[in-house]
A and B are shown apart, each in its own frame.
Chain A
Amino acid sequence: MDETIKKQLQRTACRVRMGVLTGTFHARSGHPGGSLSIADLLTYLYFVKLHVDPKHPDMPDRDRLVLSKGHCAPALYAVLAERGFFPAKELESLRHIGAMLQGHPCIKTPGVDMSSGSLGQGISAACGMALAGKLHAASYRVYAILGDGEIEEGQVWEAAMFAAHYRLDNLLAIVDNNGLQIDGKITDVCSPEPIDEKFRAFGWYVITLDDAHDLDKLEAAFDEAESVTGQPVVIIQKSVKGKGVSFMEDQVSWHGAAPNAEQYAQAMQELEAALAGTEV
Protein backbone atom coordinates (compact mmCIF):
# COMPACT_ATOMS: atom_id res chain seq x y z
CA MET A 1 0.00 0.00 0.00
CA ASP A 2 1.16 3.49 -0.81
CA GLU A 3 2.68 5.00 2.36
CA THR A 4 0.77 8.28 2.08
CA ILE A 5 -2.55 6.49 1.67
CA LYS A 6 -1.68 4.18 4.51
CA LYS A 7 -0.98 7.11 6.82
CA GLN A 8 -4.22 8.76 5.84
CA LEU A 9 -6.11 5.55 6.55
CA GLN A 10 -4.35 5.15 9.88
CA ARG A 11 -5.36 8.69 10.80
CA THR A 12 -8.94 8.00 9.79
CA ALA A 13 -8.98 4.76 11.77
CA CYS A 14 -7.70 6.70 14.74
CA ARG A 15 -10.55 9.20 14.42
CA VAL A 16 -13.00 6.31 14.08
CA ARG A 17 -11.66 4.97 17.38
CA MET A 18 -12.17 8.39 18.92
CA GLY A 19 -15.73 8.31 17.61
CA VAL A 20 -16.28 4.95 19.30
CA LEU A 21 -15.07 6.39 22.58
CA THR A 22 -17.08 9.58 22.19
CA GLY A 23 -20.22 7.67 21.34
CA THR A 24 -20.05 5.17 24.17
CA PHE A 25 -18.92 7.82 26.67
CA HIS A 26 -21.90 10.05 25.91
CA ALA A 27 -24.25 7.05 25.78
CA ARG A 28 -22.88 5.81 29.13
CA SER A 29 -23.27 2.36 27.61
CA GLY A 30 -22.45 0.41 24.49
CA HIS A 31 -19.74 -1.89 23.24
CA PRO A 32 -16.32 -0.27 22.78
CA GLY A 33 -14.21 -3.47 22.81
CA GLY A 34 -15.52 -5.12 19.66
CA SER A 35 -15.99 -1.75 18.00
CA LEU A 36 -12.31 -0.97 18.38
CA SER A 37 -11.31 -4.36 16.97
CA ILE A 38 -13.08 -3.60 13.67
CA ALA A 39 -12.08 0.07 13.39
CA ASP A 40 -9.27 -0.64 10.91
CA LEU A 41 -11.43 -3.03 8.88
CA LEU A 42 -14.30 -0.55 8.59
CA THR A 43 -11.95 2.29 7.72
CA TYR A 44 -10.32 0.23 4.99
CA LEU A 45 -13.69 -0.86 3.59
CA TYR A 46 -15.38 2.55 3.60
CA PHE A 47 -12.36 4.49 2.36
CA VAL A 48 -10.86 2.01 -0.09
CA LYS A 49 -13.23 -0.75 -1.09
CA LEU A 50 -16.89 0.19 -0.86
CA HIS A 51 -18.64 1.79 -3.78
CA VAL A 52 -20.90 4.11 -1.81
CA ASP A 53 -22.03 7.70 -2.08
CA PRO A 54 -22.87 9.58 1.12
CA LYS A 55 -25.06 11.92 -0.93
CA HIS A 56 -27.05 8.98 -2.28
CA PRO A 57 -27.01 6.39 0.49
CA ASP A 58 -29.69 4.30 -1.26
CA MET A 59 -28.22 4.19 -4.75
CA PRO A 60 -29.16 0.80 -6.20
CA ASP A 61 -25.72 -0.31 -7.38
CA ARG A 62 -23.90 0.54 -4.15
CA ASP A 63 -21.92 -2.06 -2.29
CA ARG A 64 -23.74 -3.21 0.83
CA LEU A 65 -22.35 -3.75 4.30
CA VAL A 66 -24.25 -5.62 6.98
CA LEU A 67 -22.84 -5.33 10.46
CA SER A 68 -24.05 -8.70 11.64
CA LYS A 69 -22.28 -8.12 14.95
CA GLY A 70 -24.57 -5.15 15.37
CA HIS A 71 -23.52 -4.28 18.91
CA CYS A 72 -20.40 -2.78 17.36
CA ALA A 73 -22.54 -0.02 15.89
CA PRO A 74 -20.38 2.72 17.47
CA ALA A 75 -17.61 1.84 15.01
CA LEU A 76 -19.99 1.75 12.06
CA TYR A 77 -21.48 5.11 13.04
CA ALA A 78 -18.05 6.64 13.51
CA VAL A 79 -16.87 5.51 10.09
CA LEU A 80 -20.13 6.60 8.40
CA ALA A 81 -19.70 10.03 9.99
CA GLU A 82 -16.08 10.18 8.80
CA ARG A 83 -17.25 9.23 5.31
CA GLY A 84 -19.82 12.03 5.37
CA PHE A 85 -23.13 10.18 5.72
CA PHE A 86 -24.07 12.37 8.69
CA PRO A 87 -22.38 14.89 10.99
CA ALA A 88 -19.98 13.52 13.63
CA LYS A 89 -21.96 15.51 16.18
CA GLU A 90 -24.59 12.73 16.02
CA LEU A 91 -22.16 10.43 17.86
CA GLU A 92 -22.68 12.51 20.99
CA SER A 93 -26.34 11.55 21.16
CA LEU A 94 -25.83 7.83 20.47
CA ARG A 95 -28.45 5.81 22.34
CA HIS A 96 -30.25 8.92 23.59
CA ILE A 97 -34.01 9.37 23.38
CA GLY A 98 -34.96 10.89 20.04
CA ALA A 99 -31.47 10.35 18.58
CA MET A 100 -30.87 9.07 15.08
CA LEU A 101 -28.19 6.64 16.23
CA GLN A 102 -29.80 3.65 17.89
CA GLY A 103 -28.07 1.20 20.21
CA HIS A 104 -27.92 -1.28 17.36
CA PRO A 105 -27.97 -0.45 13.63
CA CYS A 106 -31.29 0.65 12.19
CA ILE A 107 -31.95 0.65 8.45
CA LYS A 108 -33.39 4.17 8.63
CA THR A 109 -29.98 5.64 9.43
CA PRO A 110 -28.24 6.96 6.30
CA GLY A 111 -25.56 4.48 5.23
CA VAL A 112 -26.92 1.59 7.29
CA ASP A 113 -27.98 -1.15 4.87
CA MET A 114 -29.69 -3.46 7.35
CA SER A 115 -31.05 -3.40 10.86
CA SER A 116 -29.02 -5.83 12.92
CA GLY A 117 -27.93 -6.67 16.40
CA SER A 118 -29.75 -9.86 17.22
CA LEU A 119 -26.76 -12.06 16.51
CA GLY A 120 -26.67 -14.49 13.61
CA GLN A 121 -29.26 -12.65 11.54
CA GLY A 122 -27.22 -10.19 9.52
CA ILE A 123 -25.42 -12.85 7.53
CA SER A 124 -28.76 -14.22 6.27
CA ALA A 125 -29.85 -10.78 5.13
CA ALA A 126 -26.48 -10.36 3.42
CA CYS A 127 -27.14 -13.64 1.58
CA GLY A 128 -30.48 -12.25 0.40
CA MET A 129 -28.81 -9.06 -0.83
CA ALA A 130 -26.16 -11.07 -2.66
CA LEU A 131 -28.82 -13.28 -4.24
CA ALA A 132 -30.72 -10.18 -5.36
CA GLY A 133 -27.49 -8.90 -6.88
CA LYS A 134 -27.16 -12.11 -8.86
CA LEU A 135 -30.79 -11.91 -10.02
CA HIS A 136 -30.33 -8.31 -11.14
CA ALA A 137 -26.95 -9.11 -12.69
CA ALA A 138 -25.69 -6.22 -10.58
CA SER A 139 -22.03 -5.56 -10.00
CA TYR A 140 -22.27 -4.76 -6.30
CA ARG A 141 -20.69 -6.77 -3.53
CA VAL A 142 -22.12 -7.52 -0.13
CA TYR A 143 -19.93 -7.45 2.95
CA ALA A 144 -21.03 -8.98 6.25
CA ILE A 145 -19.07 -8.56 9.45
CA LEU A 146 -19.57 -11.22 12.10
CA GLY A 147 -18.18 -11.69 15.56
CA ASP A 148 -16.33 -14.86 16.48
CA GLY A 149 -18.75 -15.34 19.36
CA GLU A 150 -21.66 -14.62 17.04
CA ILE A 151 -20.90 -17.64 14.90
CA GLU A 152 -22.03 -19.81 17.79
CA GLU A 153 -25.54 -18.98 16.53
CA GLY A 154 -26.92 -21.83 14.42
CA GLN A 155 -28.46 -19.44 11.90
CA VAL A 156 -24.96 -18.46 10.77
CA TRP A 157 -24.38 -22.00 9.56
CA GLU A 158 -27.76 -22.16 7.86
CA ALA A 159 -26.67 -19.04 5.99
CA ALA A 160 -23.23 -20.50 5.32
CA MET A 161 -24.85 -23.52 3.66
CA PHE A 162 -27.14 -21.31 1.62
CA ALA A 163 -24.37 -19.01 0.39
CA ALA A 164 -22.23 -21.91 -0.77
CA HIS A 165 -25.16 -23.74 -2.36
CA TYR A 166 -26.13 -20.69 -4.42
CA ARG A 167 -22.48 -19.86 -5.17
CA LEU A 168 -22.74 -16.32 -3.85
CA ASP A 169 -19.29 -15.14 -4.85
CA ASN A 170 -20.46 -11.54 -4.50
CA LEU A 171 -20.73 -12.15 -0.76
CA LEU A 172 -17.75 -11.54 1.46
CA ALA A 173 -17.97 -12.33 5.16
CA ILE A 174 -15.45 -11.16 7.69
CA VAL A 175 -15.23 -12.91 11.05
CA ASP A 176 -13.71 -10.60 13.63
CA ASN A 177 -11.69 -13.09 15.59
CA ASN A 178 -10.77 -11.14 18.73
CA GLY A 179 -11.15 -14.27 20.81
CA LEU A 180 -13.43 -12.79 23.47
CA GLN A 181 -17.17 -12.79 24.10
CA ILE A 182 -19.21 -11.52 27.03
CA ASP A 183 -18.65 -14.51 29.29
CA GLY A 184 -14.95 -14.85 28.55
CA LYS A 185 -12.64 -16.41 25.96
CA ILE A 186 -14.54 -17.97 23.07
CA THR A 187 -12.56 -21.14 23.64
CA ASP A 188 -13.75 -21.29 27.25
CA VAL A 189 -17.41 -20.35 26.69
CA CYS A 190 -18.49 -22.76 23.94
CA SER A 191 -15.75 -22.83 21.37
CA PRO A 192 -16.56 -22.12 17.74
CA GLU A 193 -13.00 -23.12 16.76
CA PRO A 194 -11.67 -24.21 14.36
CA ILE A 195 -13.42 -21.42 12.47
CA ASP A 196 -11.46 -21.80 9.24
CA GLU A 197 -12.10 -25.52 8.94
CA LYS A 198 -15.79 -25.05 9.62
CA PHE A 199 -16.24 -22.52 6.83
CA ARG A 200 -14.10 -24.62 4.50
CA ALA A 201 -16.29 -27.63 5.25
CA PHE A 202 -19.35 -25.50 4.45
CA GLY A 203 -17.97 -24.77 0.99
CA TRP A 204 -16.47 -21.34 1.50
CA TYR A 205 -13.15 -19.98 0.31
CA VAL A 206 -11.28 -19.17 3.51
CA ILE A 207 -8.66 -16.47 3.99
CA THR A 208 -6.97 -16.10 7.34
CA LEU A 209 -5.56 -12.74 8.25
CA ASP A 210 -3.14 -12.86 11.18
CA ASP A 211 -3.22 -9.13 11.98
CA ALA A 212 -6.43 -7.21 11.33
CA HIS A 213 -4.72 -3.97 12.32
CA ASP A 214 -2.09 -4.13 9.56
CA LEU A 215 -3.47 -2.29 6.53
CA ASP A 216 -1.10 -3.99 4.09
CA LYS A 217 -2.32 -7.37 5.26
CA LEU A 218 -5.94 -6.22 5.09
CA GLU A 219 -5.39 -5.11 1.53
CA ALA A 220 -3.76 -8.40 0.57
CA ALA A 221 -6.65 -10.35 2.09
CA PHE A 222 -9.28 -8.34 0.22
CA ASP A 223 -7.33 -8.51 -3.03
CA GLU A 224 -7.25 -12.28 -2.71
CA ALA A 225 -10.96 -12.35 -1.83
CA GLU A 226 -11.85 -10.45 -4.99
CA SER A 227 -10.10 -12.96 -7.20
CA VAL A 228 -12.38 -15.79 -6.04
CA THR A 229 -15.27 -16.88 -8.21
CA GLY A 230 -17.96 -19.50 -7.78
CA GLN A 231 -18.05 -19.57 -4.00
CA PRO A 232 -18.50 -17.17 -1.07
CA VAL A 233 -15.40 -15.92 0.71
CA VAL A 234 -14.73 -15.48 4.39
CA ILE A 235 -11.84 -13.54 5.84
CA ILE A 236 -11.08 -14.60 9.38
CA GLN A 237 -9.28 -11.65 10.83
CA LYS A 238 -7.26 -12.05 13.99
CA SER A 239 -7.85 -8.86 15.91
CA VAL A 240 -7.39 -7.37 19.35
CA LYS A 241 -10.52 -6.44 21.26
CA GLY A 242 -10.22 -2.86 22.49
CA LYS A 243 -7.36 -2.19 20.02
CA GLY A 244 -5.83 1.27 20.30
CA VAL A 245 -6.71 2.02 23.92
CA SER A 246 -4.10 0.54 26.26
CA PHE A 247 -6.34 -0.37 29.16
CA MET A 248 -9.05 -1.84 26.95
CA GLU A 249 -6.89 -4.13 24.84
CA ASP A 250 -7.74 -7.82 25.15
CA GLN A 251 -9.90 -7.14 28.20
CA VAL A 252 -13.26 -8.89 28.16
CA SER A 253 -14.60 -6.39 30.69
CA TRP A 254 -14.65 -3.78 27.91
CA HIS A 255 -17.03 -5.81 25.79
CA GLY A 256 -20.07 -3.90 26.92
CA ALA A 257 -18.99 -1.12 29.27
CA ALA A 258 -18.62 2.59 28.62
CA PRO A 259 -15.64 4.61 29.81
CA ASN A 260 -16.17 7.06 32.65
CA ALA A 261 -14.94 10.66 32.30
CA GLU A 262 -11.45 9.86 33.51
CA GLN A 263 -11.10 6.78 31.31
CA TYR A 264 -12.51 8.69 28.38
CA ALA A 265 -9.96 11.46 28.84
CA GLN A 266 -7.10 8.97 29.04
CA ALA A 267 -8.29 7.04 25.99
CA MET A 268 -8.67 10.22 23.94
CA GLN A 269 -5.20 11.34 25.03
CA GLU A 270 -3.73 8.06 23.82
CA LEU A 271 -5.54 8.33 20.52
CA GLU A 272 -4.51 11.98 20.08
CA ALA A 273 -0.93 10.86 20.55
CA ALA A 274 -1.39 8.08 18.01
CA LEU A 275 -2.89 10.58 15.59
CA ALA A 276 0.06 12.94 16.05
CA GLY A 277 2.37 10.02 15.32
CA THR A 278 0.79 9.47 11.92
CA GLU A 279 0.96 13.03 10.65
CA VAL A 280 1.60 13.06 6.95
Chain B
Amino acid sequence: MADVKKKATRESYGEALTELAEQYPELVVLDADLAAATKTGIFKKAYPERFFDCGIAEANMMGVAAGLAASGMIPFASTFAMFAAGRAYEIVRNSIGYPHLNVKIGATHAGISVGEDGATHQCNEDIALMRTIPGMTVIVPCDDVEAKAAVKAAIVHDGPVYMRFGRLAAPILNDPETYQFALGKGVTLRDGTDITIVAAGLMVAEALDAAEMLAAEGISARVINIHTIKPLDKALICKAAKETGCIVTVEEHSIIGGLGSAVADCVTECCPVPVHKIGVQDEFGHSGPAADLLKEFGLSAEHIAEVIRESLKL
Protein backbone atom coordinates (compact mmCIF):
# COMPACT_ATOMS: atom_id res chain seq x y z
CA MET B 1 0.00 0.00 0.00
CA ALA B 2 3.03 2.20 -0.50
CA ASP B 3 1.27 4.54 -2.91
CA VAL B 4 -1.84 5.11 -0.85
CA LYS B 5 -2.30 8.47 0.84
CA LYS B 6 -2.20 8.34 4.62
CA LYS B 7 -3.56 10.39 7.49
CA ALA B 8 -3.89 9.76 11.21
CA THR B 9 -7.53 9.42 12.26
CA ARG B 10 -6.90 11.77 15.20
CA GLU B 11 -6.26 14.46 12.62
CA SER B 12 -9.51 13.59 10.85
CA TYR B 13 -11.21 13.96 14.24
CA GLY B 14 -9.94 17.50 14.76
CA GLU B 15 -10.83 18.47 11.21
CA ALA B 16 -14.30 16.94 11.35
CA LEU B 17 -15.16 18.79 14.56
CA THR B 18 -14.15 22.03 12.91
CA GLU B 19 -16.05 21.31 9.72
CA LEU B 20 -19.24 20.42 11.60
CA ALA B 21 -19.14 23.24 14.14
CA GLU B 22 -21.17 25.69 12.13
CA GLN B 23 -23.92 23.21 11.30
CA TYR B 24 -24.20 22.08 14.94
CA PRO B 25 -24.13 25.11 17.24
CA GLU B 26 -24.50 22.92 20.34
CA LEU B 27 -21.20 21.19 19.59
CA VAL B 28 -18.46 22.07 22.09
CA VAL B 29 -15.07 20.49 22.59
CA LEU B 30 -13.30 19.60 25.81
CA ASP B 31 -9.72 18.49 26.11
CA ALA B 32 -7.34 17.65 28.95
CA ASP B 33 -4.15 19.44 28.00
CA LEU B 34 -3.60 17.35 24.89
CA ALA B 35 -5.16 19.52 22.21
CA ALA B 36 -1.98 19.50 20.14
CA ALA B 37 -1.89 15.70 20.14
CA THR B 38 -5.61 14.87 19.95
CA LYS B 39 -5.87 17.49 17.19
CA THR B 40 -8.73 19.30 18.86
CA GLY B 41 -6.27 22.18 18.61
CA ILE B 42 -7.58 22.59 15.05
CA PHE B 43 -11.04 23.23 16.47
CA LYS B 44 -9.68 25.44 19.24
CA LYS B 45 -8.06 27.69 16.65
CA ALA B 46 -11.25 28.04 14.64
CA TYR B 47 -13.73 28.19 17.55
CA PRO B 48 -11.86 29.28 20.69
CA GLU B 49 -15.10 30.26 22.45
CA ARG B 50 -16.43 26.71 22.10
CA PHE B 51 -13.28 24.97 23.28
CA PHE B 52 -12.65 24.28 26.96
CA ASP B 53 -9.38 22.98 28.27
CA CYS B 54 -9.98 21.07 31.48
CA GLY B 55 -6.32 20.71 32.30
CA ILE B 56 -4.83 17.37 33.27
CA ALA B 57 -8.00 16.23 34.95
CA GLU B 58 -9.81 13.65 32.86
CA ALA B 59 -12.23 12.54 35.55
CA ASN B 60 -13.60 16.04 35.90
CA MET B 61 -13.64 16.52 32.14
CA MET B 62 -15.99 13.56 31.71
CA GLY B 63 -18.23 14.89 34.46
CA VAL B 64 -18.28 18.37 32.94
CA ALA B 65 -19.21 16.78 29.62
CA ALA B 66 -22.08 15.00 31.35
CA GLY B 67 -23.35 18.26 32.80
CA LEU B 68 -23.08 20.02 29.46
CA ALA B 69 -25.02 17.23 27.76
CA ALA B 70 -27.66 17.29 30.49
CA SER B 71 -28.11 20.97 29.59
CA GLY B 72 -28.55 20.51 25.85
CA MET B 73 -25.00 20.75 24.54
CA ILE B 74 -23.19 18.13 22.45
CA PRO B 75 -19.79 17.89 24.12
CA PHE B 76 -16.84 16.06 22.58
CA ALA B 77 -14.52 15.07 25.42
CA SER B 78 -11.09 14.39 24.05
CA THR B 79 -7.95 12.81 25.42
CA PHE B 80 -5.81 9.71 24.94
CA ALA B 81 -7.66 6.39 25.06
CA MET B 82 -5.70 5.41 28.16
CA PHE B 83 -7.19 8.29 30.12
CA ALA B 84 -10.61 8.48 28.49
CA ALA B 85 -11.46 4.82 28.94
CA GLY B 86 -8.92 3.94 31.60
CA ARG B 87 -8.54 6.68 34.16
CA ALA B 88 -12.02 8.08 33.71
CA TYR B 89 -13.79 4.73 33.32
CA GLU B 90 -15.98 5.03 36.36
CA ILE B 91 -17.04 8.57 35.55
CA VAL B 92 -17.88 7.52 32.00
CA ARG B 93 -19.92 4.65 33.40
CA ASN B 94 -21.76 6.48 36.17
CA SER B 95 -21.99 10.09 35.01
CA ILE B 96 -22.40 9.47 31.26
CA GLY B 97 -23.48 5.87 30.68
CA TYR B 98 -25.99 5.44 33.49
CA PRO B 99 -27.93 8.66 32.78
CA HIS B 100 -27.43 7.92 29.05
CA LEU B 101 -26.22 11.43 28.31
CA ASN B 102 -25.37 12.71 24.87
CA VAL B 103 -21.61 12.84 25.37
CA LYS B 104 -19.16 11.98 22.60
CA ILE B 105 -15.76 10.72 23.67
CA GLY B 106 -12.92 11.23 21.21
CA ALA B 107 -10.16 8.89 22.33
CA THR B 108 -6.92 9.20 20.43
CA HIS B 109 -3.57 7.40 20.66
CA ALA B 110 -5.26 4.06 21.13
CA GLY B 111 -3.45 0.77 20.86
CA ILE B 112 0.12 -0.35 20.49
CA SER B 113 0.88 2.07 17.65
CA VAL B 114 1.37 4.86 20.19
CA GLY B 115 4.93 3.59 19.86
CA GLU B 116 7.82 5.09 21.76
CA ASP B 117 5.81 6.30 24.76
CA GLY B 118 5.50 2.67 25.79
CA ALA B 119 3.15 0.57 27.88
CA THR B 120 1.74 3.28 30.16
CA HIS B 121 0.24 5.04 27.15
CA GLN B 122 -0.56 2.07 24.91
CA CYS B 123 -4.19 1.42 25.71
CA ASN B 124 -5.15 -2.05 24.55
CA GLU B 125 -8.15 -2.37 26.83
CA ASP B 126 -10.43 0.52 25.93
CA ILE B 127 -12.79 -1.33 23.59
CA ALA B 128 -13.32 -3.97 26.24
CA LEU B 129 -14.02 -1.37 28.92
CA MET B 130 -16.32 0.80 26.84
CA ARG B 131 -18.41 -1.95 25.30
CA THR B 132 -19.44 -3.25 28.72
CA ILE B 133 -21.21 0.02 29.48
CA PRO B 134 -24.93 -0.33 28.70
CA GLY B 135 -26.04 1.98 25.89
CA MET B 136 -22.52 2.98 24.87
CA THR B 137 -21.81 3.02 21.12
CA VAL B 138 -18.21 2.11 20.23
CA ILE B 139 -16.73 3.13 16.89
CA VAL B 140 -13.26 2.31 15.56
CA PRO B 141 -12.83 4.02 12.18
CA CYS B 142 -10.22 2.71 9.76
CA ASP B 143 -9.24 5.82 7.84
CA ASP B 144 -9.68 9.53 7.35
CA VAL B 145 -12.94 9.26 5.41
CA GLU B 146 -14.53 6.89 7.87
CA ALA B 147 -13.30 8.84 10.90
CA LYS B 148 -14.93 12.02 9.64
CA ALA B 149 -18.13 10.17 8.83
CA ALA B 150 -18.06 8.63 12.30
CA VAL B 151 -17.85 12.04 13.96
CA LYS B 152 -20.88 13.20 12.02
CA ALA B 153 -22.79 10.01 12.83
CA ALA B 154 -21.92 10.46 16.49
CA ILE B 155 -23.41 13.96 16.49
CA VAL B 156 -26.63 12.77 14.91
CA HIS B 157 -26.90 9.79 17.24
CA ASP B 158 -28.63 10.57 20.53
CA GLY B 159 -26.61 8.95 23.29
CA PRO B 160 -23.06 8.33 24.45
CA VAL B 161 -20.50 7.39 21.82
CA TYR B 162 -16.89 6.28 22.23
CA MET B 163 -14.73 6.92 19.17
CA ARG B 164 -11.28 5.37 18.93
CA PHE B 165 -8.64 7.16 16.89
CA GLY B 166 -5.01 6.38 16.22
CA ARG B 167 -1.78 8.28 16.42
CA LEU B 168 -0.24 6.68 13.38
CA ALA B 169 -1.04 7.76 9.82
CA ALA B 170 -3.49 5.22 8.36
CA PRO B 171 -3.90 4.46 4.64
CA ILE B 172 -6.96 6.16 3.18
CA LEU B 173 -9.05 3.28 1.86
CA ASN B 174 -12.41 4.91 1.30
CA ASP B 175 -13.52 7.36 -1.34
CA PRO B 176 -14.91 10.51 0.29
CA GLU B 177 -17.22 11.05 -2.69
CA THR B 178 -19.01 7.73 -2.46
CA TYR B 179 -18.49 6.47 1.10
CA GLN B 180 -21.65 5.94 3.13
CA PHE B 181 -21.31 5.41 6.87
CA ALA B 182 -24.11 3.62 8.68
CA LEU B 183 -23.75 3.26 12.42
CA GLY B 184 -23.83 -0.40 13.40
CA LYS B 185 -23.43 -1.67 9.84
CA GLY B 186 -20.22 -3.40 8.84
CA VAL B 187 -18.76 -3.05 5.38
CA THR B 188 -17.75 -6.03 3.25
CA LEU B 189 -14.66 -4.76 1.46
CA ARG B 190 -13.82 -7.96 -0.34
CA ASP B 191 -15.86 -11.05 -0.96
CA GLY B 192 -14.52 -14.50 -0.22
CA THR B 193 -15.65 -18.03 0.48
CA ASP B 194 -12.94 -19.83 2.48
CA ILE B 195 -12.63 -17.62 5.53
CA THR B 196 -13.68 -14.18 6.80
CA ILE B 197 -11.35 -11.59 8.24
CA VAL B 198 -13.14 -9.13 10.51
CA ALA B 199 -11.01 -6.10 11.22
CA ALA B 200 -11.28 -2.59 12.60
CA GLY B 201 -9.18 0.56 12.63
CA LEU B 202 -5.62 0.37 11.45
CA MET B 203 -5.98 -3.37 10.93
CA VAL B 204 -8.44 -3.05 8.04
CA ALA B 205 -5.65 -2.17 5.60
CA GLU B 206 -3.56 -5.09 6.89
CA ALA B 207 -6.52 -7.41 6.45
CA LEU B 208 -6.96 -6.31 2.83
CA ASP B 209 -3.26 -6.89 2.16
CA ALA B 210 -3.44 -10.32 3.77
CA ALA B 211 -6.43 -11.24 1.59
CA GLU B 212 -4.49 -10.16 -1.46
CA MET B 213 -1.53 -12.33 -0.49
CA LEU B 214 -3.79 -15.30 0.15
CA ALA B 215 -5.61 -14.86 -3.14
CA ALA B 216 -2.32 -15.48 -4.93
CA GLU B 217 -2.18 -18.82 -3.09
CA GLY B 218 -5.72 -19.73 -4.05
CA ILE B 219 -7.31 -18.88 -0.70
CA SER B 220 -10.47 -16.79 -0.92
CA ALA B 221 -10.73 -14.53 2.13
CA ARG B 222 -13.68 -12.25 2.76
CA VAL B 223 -12.79 -8.95 4.47
CA ILE B 224 -15.24 -7.10 6.68
CA ASN B 225 -14.50 -3.66 8.06
CA ILE B 226 -16.47 -3.57 11.29
CA HIS B 227 -16.16 0.11 12.21
CA THR B 228 -18.91 -0.12 14.82
CA ILE B 229 -17.97 -2.63 17.51
CA LYS B 230 -21.09 -1.85 19.48
CA PRO B 231 -23.79 -2.31 18.42
CA LEU B 232 -22.20 -5.09 16.39
CA ASP B 233 -23.57 -5.91 12.93
CA LYS B 234 -24.61 -9.39 14.01
CA ALA B 235 -26.42 -10.19 10.77
CA LEU B 236 -23.32 -9.56 8.69
CA ILE B 237 -21.07 -11.55 11.06
CA CYS B 238 -23.47 -14.50 11.23
CA LYS B 239 -23.84 -14.53 7.45
CA ALA B 240 -20.06 -14.62 7.10
CA ALA B 241 -19.83 -17.44 9.65
CA LYS B 242 -22.41 -19.47 7.76
CA GLU B 243 -20.93 -18.83 4.32
CA THR B 244 -17.22 -19.11 5.06
CA GLY B 245 -17.18 -21.41 8.09
CA CYS B 246 -14.27 -19.73 9.84
CA ILE B 247 -13.48 -16.23 11.14
CA VAL B 248 -10.29 -14.40 11.96
CA THR B 249 -10.58 -11.15 13.90
CA VAL B 250 -7.85 -8.54 13.79
CA GLU B 251 -7.61 -5.62 16.19
CA GLU B 252 -5.01 -3.33 17.66
CA HIS B 253 -6.29 -4.20 21.11
CA SER B 254 -6.07 -6.98 23.65
CA ILE B 255 -7.56 -10.27 22.48
CA ILE B 256 -9.45 -10.16 25.77
CA GLY B 257 -12.75 -8.33 25.58
CA GLY B 258 -12.39 -6.43 22.32
CA LEU B 259 -13.54 -7.01 18.76
CA GLY B 260 -12.50 -10.68 18.80
CA SER B 261 -14.53 -11.32 21.91
CA ALA B 262 -17.52 -9.45 20.51
CA VAL B 263 -17.43 -11.50 17.30
CA ALA B 264 -16.93 -14.74 19.21
CA ASP B 265 -19.90 -13.91 21.46
CA CYS B 266 -21.96 -13.27 18.36
CA VAL B 267 -21.19 -16.45 16.40
CA THR B 268 -21.51 -18.60 19.51
CA GLU B 269 -25.18 -17.76 19.44
CA CYS B 270 -25.97 -17.83 15.74
CA CYS B 271 -23.47 -20.10 14.02
CA PRO B 272 -20.61 -21.52 16.08
CA VAL B 273 -17.54 -21.62 13.87
CA PRO B 274 -13.86 -21.33 14.82
CA VAL B 275 -12.85 -17.74 15.63
CA HIS B 276 -9.13 -16.98 15.65
CA LYS B 277 -8.35 -13.76 17.47
CA ILE B 278 -5.40 -11.72 16.32
CA GLY B 279 -4.50 -8.87 18.62
CA VAL B 280 -2.28 -8.01 21.54
CA GLN B 281 -1.94 -11.07 23.75
CA ASP B 282 -2.39 -10.96 27.51
CA GLU B 283 0.63 -8.73 27.99
CA PHE B 284 1.71 -5.09 28.14
CA GLY B 285 3.39 -3.34 25.24
CA HIS B 286 6.70 -1.55 25.35
CA SER B 287 8.59 1.29 23.67
CA GLY B 288 9.62 1.23 20.05
CA PRO B 289 8.74 2.59 16.63
CA ALA B 290 5.05 1.95 15.89
CA ALA B 291 5.68 0.05 12.67
CA ASP B 292 8.09 -2.32 14.40
CA LEU B 293 5.75 -2.84 17.32
CA LEU B 294 2.84 -3.71 15.03
CA LYS B 295 4.98 -6.40 13.39
CA GLU B 296 6.28 -7.67 16.71
CA PHE B 297 2.80 -8.01 18.14
CA GLY B 298 1.53 -9.86 15.09
CA LEU B 299 -0.56 -7.00 13.75
CA SER B 300 0.63 -7.29 10.17
CA ALA B 301 -0.71 -8.64 6.90
CA GLU B 302 1.99 -11.31 6.94
CA HIS B 303 0.95 -12.58 10.35
CA ILE B 304 -2.75 -12.48 9.46
CA ALA B 305 -2.02 -14.54 6.33
CA GLU B 306 0.01 -16.99 8.38
CA VAL B 307 -2.75 -17.48 10.94
CA ILE B 308 -5.23 -18.08 8.13
CA ARG B 309 -3.03 -20.66 6.39
CA GLU B 310 -2.69 -22.50 9.69
CA SER B 311 -6.37 -22.30 10.51
CA LEU B 312 -7.38 -23.68 7.11
CA LYS B 313 -5.07 -26.67 7.61
CA LEU B 314 -7.00 -27.67 10.71
Contact = CB atoms under 8 A, between A and B. Distances in A.
B73 A118 contact: no
B224 to A, nearest CB: 36
A182 to B, nearest CB: 19
A277 interface: no
A124 B62 contact: yes
A108 B257 CA distance: 30
A126 interface: yes
A52 interface: no
B59 interface: yes
B67 A132 contact: yes
Interface in B54-71: 54-55, 57, 59-71
Q: Contact size class for A?
A: 20 to 34
Interface in B71-86: 71-73, 75
B188 interface: no
Interface string A202-231: 000000000000000000000000000000
A133 B94 CA distance: 23
A198 to B, nearest CB: 16
B91 A155 contact: yes
A159 interface: yes
A44 B66 CA distance: 27
B52 interface: yes
B306 interface: no
A128 B72 contact: no
Contact of B72 (A60, A114, A122, A125): A60
B60 A132 contact: no
Contacts of B98: 106, 115
Given A126-B67, A128-B67, A155 B60 contact: yes
Interface string A1-35: 00000000000000000000000000000000000
Contacts of B95: 114-115, 118, 121, 124-125
Interface string B89-129: 01100110011000000000000000000000000000000
Interface of A: 60, 64, 66, 106-107, 113-115, 117-118, 120-133, 135-136, 154-155, 158-159, 161-162, 165-166
Contacts of B67: 66, 114, 124-132
A129 to B, nearest CB: 4
Contacts of A133: 71
B55 A124 contact: no
A121 B94 contact: yes
Query: Chain B binding site: helix, strand, loop or mixed by DSSP?
Result: helix
A158 B50 CA distance: 20
B94 A107 contact: no
Which 3 A-B pairs rank lowest in CB-CB distance, beginning with the nearest?
A: A128-B67, A124-B63, A132-B71
Contacts of A120: 59
A80 B120 CA distance: 46
Interface string B127-159: 000000000000000000000000000000000
A66 B52 CA distance: 22
Interface string B270-301: 00000000000000000000000000000000
Most chain A beta carbons < 10 A, residue from B67, B94, B95 = B67
A14 B66 CA distance: 34
